[in-house]
Each structure stands twice: as C-alpha cells, then as structure tokens.
Amino acid sequence: MGTQQIVLEYLDDHDEKLSYLAREIWEHPEIALEERFACGLLADELESAGFTVERGVGQLPTAFVASYGSGKPIIGILGEYDALPGLSQRLSAERDPVEQGGPGHGCGHNLFGVASLGAALALKELMAKEGIPGTIRYYGCPAEETLVGKTFMAKAGVFDDLDAALAWHPGDINAVWSGSSLAMNSFKINFYGVSAHAAADPYNGRSALDAAQLMDIGVNYLREHIIPEARMHSVITSGGQAPNVVPAYAQIWYFVRAPTREQVDAIYARVLDIAKGAALMTGTTYDVDFVTGCYELLPNLALSRLMLEKMQEIGGLSFTEEEQEFARKLQQTFAPGTVAQGFEQVKRLVSCELDPAAMERPLWGEVLPHTEEPIVMPGSTEVGDVSQITPTAQVTTCCWPLGTPGHSWQVVASSGSSIGFKGMLLAAKVLALTGLELLTRPDRLAEARAEFERRKNGRPYVSPLPENAYPH
C-alpha cells in the first residue's frame, strides 16, 4: 500500500470520530479567547496520540502548539475553533436559536480545527509506521474572528522555524485560494471629558461623546482622500448613560483595512491625527487602545498548485438528495439575489466559464480550477501574518450551500450537518496529502521557499502589535 493510500484510509477509518469532535465543538460554541472546551478537546486528542503539547502560547490561554517528530522539515497545520456571538442555531433550515443571543459557529470553525487535527493525526500515524523524518505541528489558534490569535502567536515567534504552513477554511466550493487579503488595524479611541448637568450647567462639562462624534465625522471626510481599496468601519461602544448628563467618557472602535501593511500604517497615522483634533475641539483628552493588527496574505503559487493537485487526485464530494434538499431550504432563506451574487464570486475565483444553470444545484461537490491572478478578498485574516513568516497556502471545501452569507445562522446550521462534515473530511485529506508531499519531496518544499523569498525580497516580518499589546 502506498503512503498516500495509508493516509486516506486512516482518515476514512476515523471519519466518524472526526465528525463526533466537530459536532461536540459545534454544540459548545465559544467566542474569541473563551474557547476553553474546544482548546482542551483538541489538545487532549493530540496529546493522547503522542504529540508533545505546549499550552498557553503567545499570552493566549486557549492557544497551543502540538508537535510530533524531530528535525527538518517542520510542517505546520493551522487550526481554528472560535465561534461568533449572536448566531446560536439548531440543526434546522429555519431560524431556531438554541439560546437567544448566544454564540454559534457562523464561520464553520468547528470544522476547521477538527479537519486540521485529522490531517496532523494521519501524518503522525504514517511517520511512525514508515519512519519518515521531520516534524509535524498542529497550531491551535484561538480568536481568529477578532484577528487576535495568530498575531500574538506570531509575535511570540512560534511560527519562526516553520518550513511551510498549511490552512483551510470552510466555504461553498472546493477550490484553492491563492489570492491575498486586506491588512488591518483594530483599535479603540477612549475620550475623557468632564461630566455636568446637561440642562443646569452644560458649560461646565466637556463632552467625550462630542469628541467621538466629531472624530467619526473627520474620519468620514478622510474617506475621499485615501485609496479606494481601503476600508474603515467604526462603532461607538460607549457614549454615556443618560441624556441629561454630559458624558465624561466615550469610546469609538475602528477597523482600518488596506491591501498592504504599509498602507494601513499610513491611514492609521492620519486617523490618530483626527482623534487629536477632536480632543482639541472639545477640550477632552484621549488615549488609544490598540486591539490587534494583521498583514495581508502573501500568496505562494507553488504551494497552491500542490494543494490543487492533491485535491484533484482525491476528487470532489458526493451529496445525498436529502443533503441537497436541506441546502435548498437554507437557500430559500437568503435575501433575493444572494445565490446569483455567490455564483459571480465563484466565477471570479476560477479560470473557466461556468454554466449559469449550475445555480440550480445548491451544493457544489466538484473540484474547481483556480486563477493565479492576484485577487484580493475584501476581508482580513491573521493567516496573513503566518504567510509573511513562512510559505503558506490554503484550500476551501464545500461545507454549505452556494451563496451562503458568511457569519450567518445558515452557516451554523450547515456546519453542524453531514454537509459540513463531508467538506471537513475532504479538507483533512488535502492537508494531509500536501503535508506528506512536503515531508518527502524536498524539491517541492524548495520551490515554495524560493517563491517565498522572491516575494519577500528581504523584508523581515515585523509584528504590527505595539510592545505593550495584550490579547483582548
């Protein structure tokens, strides 16, 4: 039996166990930095399988690194497991929260962490059986939804000695993602004023809320004078408790995004100038609470081609009529035009024409080609920081119906179903076979490394986090 077949058979034999673990995490959703159940479940599984587990890395109690083997090459597999607030949902095609306002896995991270676990376990089994040298590492990465986990882990240096990193993400198609993403800063501006009676003596007060509002007006005017690809979002998280009291405290929270780290830094400096101006205008003071920052994804086409090759060798997914019907019912809850928008997004990601009639099929089980043109997704991920340290590639598999909005209760429902579990198993197989190729084919690893060095062009990774930053 060939080594690839050993890996695939291991994962097929453990499909039921992996689905059980994914369902357990789905039934115990935990938001960023609170993933004690998921972290413990995954770390314990790896430890019992013979991995050496280091817990609490990067100042993060729910982060860990599990290692098996010794020496080079060192191949990392990234796992995530945090949920999102307000998306609690039962396994139903209708909105049906388990707990009103409770969390749910609206990004499918219950699948993400477990597929990566399966890949790591399969590779460990093969390495032990065949005496394959090298090291496989599973990275338990919390707080992806707040873009905190990997940035603090990167700052702690846990990725520095990796020869390559592999990741995946649940989605609505089977494809390889070889584009980029937006770099980002997340920060809160705290304004401090003076309280007073809003009717009797407002002139003795200094409104922190006025400062926050003026700042946001200034940032809105700034939009005209930054690159069109940049994004700025804000929310006032605190602005007083009663209208008859001049607010002595206010807080406004910003995300600033742009295609490169340098662009984010430049826009961020201008936003801070606006905060200073707002404080001067209102007679208040302010400080900055820097939450997190991340880099853009650095593509690695050599690794992407390898992942696509392995996915094509494995083949796509087959779904039952019951699964197609469940997916169809979920699609019926989408806003009008959502499926068509999803179809157009897929067309931009692949390098071939697609038949519009395919929109009638809710679940896409086939393996799609991918374009190597530099497509930038409008969101951000701290996988970007890992990609700036070591060659990194990621794949997506069909875990929910075409066009399903991200961060939605529909994602939660599908991620807890057999649809999500099938996509998870395919991802585990792709990660494992890619990892095997990198462990045993020095030429494939050297190709990825050469491309990485070419793209980096001598620029070192410098953490976007201030020296005194802490995870929150």
pTM of the model: 0.95
How many beta carbons lie within 10 A of that of residue 332, not counting itself? 12
Counting other chains too, the contacts that 334-343 makes at CB distance below 8 Å and 24 or more residues apart are 334/403, 334/404, 334/405, 334/410, 335/405, 338/403, 338/405, 339/402, 339/403, 340/403, 341/403, 342/172, 342/402, 342/403, 342/404, 343/402, 343/403
Q: Give percent above pLDDT 70 in the chain.
A: 100
Determine the Cα–Cα distance for residues 159 and 54; give it in Å rounded to an integer: 14
Predicted confidence at residue 358, as pLDDT, reads: 81
Determine the Cα–Cα distance for residues 338 and 317; give it in Å rounded to an integer: 23
Predicted confidence at residue 25, as pLDDT, reads: 98
349 pLDDT band (50/70/90 cuts)?
A: confident
How are the residues of the chain apportioned to helix, strand and coil, as percentages rounded to the nearest 5? 45, 20, 35
pLDDT tens figures, 149-197:
999 999 999 999 999 999 999 999 999 988 899 999 999 999 999 999 9
Q: Give percent above pLDDT 90 in the chain.
A: 93
Predicted confidence at residue 1, as pLDDT, reads: 63
Which CATH number does 3-181+296-456 carry? 3.40.630.10
The answer to whether the CB of 135 falls within 8 A of the CB of 73 is yes
Peptide bond into 85 cis (omega under 30): no
Using the CB atoms, write b or e for 46-79: b if 16+ within 10 Å: beeeebebebebbebbbbbbbbbbeeebbbbbbb
Helix, strand, or coil (residue 7): helix
How many beta carbons lie within 10 A of that of residue 144, not counting itself? 22
Helix, strand, or coil (residue 271): helix
The answer to whether the CB of 7 falls within 8 A of the CB of 433 is yes
Q: Which two tokens stand for residue 209?
A: 């809320």
- Kindly give the pairing relationship between strand 74-80 and strand 164-171: parallel
pLDDT tens figures, 89-128:
999 999 999 999 999 999 999 999 999 999 999 999 999 9
Predicted confidence at residue 356, as pLDDT, reads: 84
Determine the Cα–Cα distance for residues 78 and 112; give it in Å rounded to an integer: 9
Predicted confidence at residue 15, as pLDDT, reads: 98
Which CATH number does 201-294 carry? 3.30.70.360
In 203-333, alpha helices (H) = 208-222, 261-282, 301-314, 321-331
pLDDT tens figures, 223-256:
999 999 999 999 999 999 999 999 999 999 999 9
Residues in the chain: 472
Average pLDDT value for residue range 258-272: 98
Contact partners, residue 17, CB within 8 Å, separation at least 6: none
> Which candidate, 346, 371, 395, 354, places its Cα nearest to that of 175?
395
Q: How many CA atoms lie within 13 A of 43 on its CB side?
A: 21
* Residue 25, φ and ψ in degrees, nearest 5: -65, -35
298 pLDDT band (50/70/90 cuts)?
A: very high
What is the pLDDT of the chain when averaged over all its residues? Answer: 96
- The yes-or-no verdict on residue 390 having pLDDT over 80 is yes
Q: Specify the DSSP class assigned to residue 405.
A: P
pLDDT tens figures, 392-450:
999 999 999 999 999 999 999 999 999 999 999 999 999 999 999 999 999 999 999 99
The ranges assigned to domains in the chain are: 3-181+296-456, 201-294
Average pLDDT value for residue range 305-312: 96
- The yes-or-no verdict on residue 351 having pLDDT over 80 is no
353 pLDDT band (50/70/90 cuts)?
A: confident
Predicted confidence at residue 347, as pLDDT, reads: 84
Predicted confidence at residue 345, as pLDDT, reads: 86
C-alpha 426 chain-centroid distance: 19
> Which candidate, 115, 122, 113, places its Cα nearest to that of 63?
113
pLDDT tens figures, 52-93:
999 999 999 999 999 999 999 999 999 999 999 999 999 999
- The yes-or-no verdict on residue 278 having pLDDT over 70 is yes
352 pLDDT band (50/70/90 cuts)?
A: confident
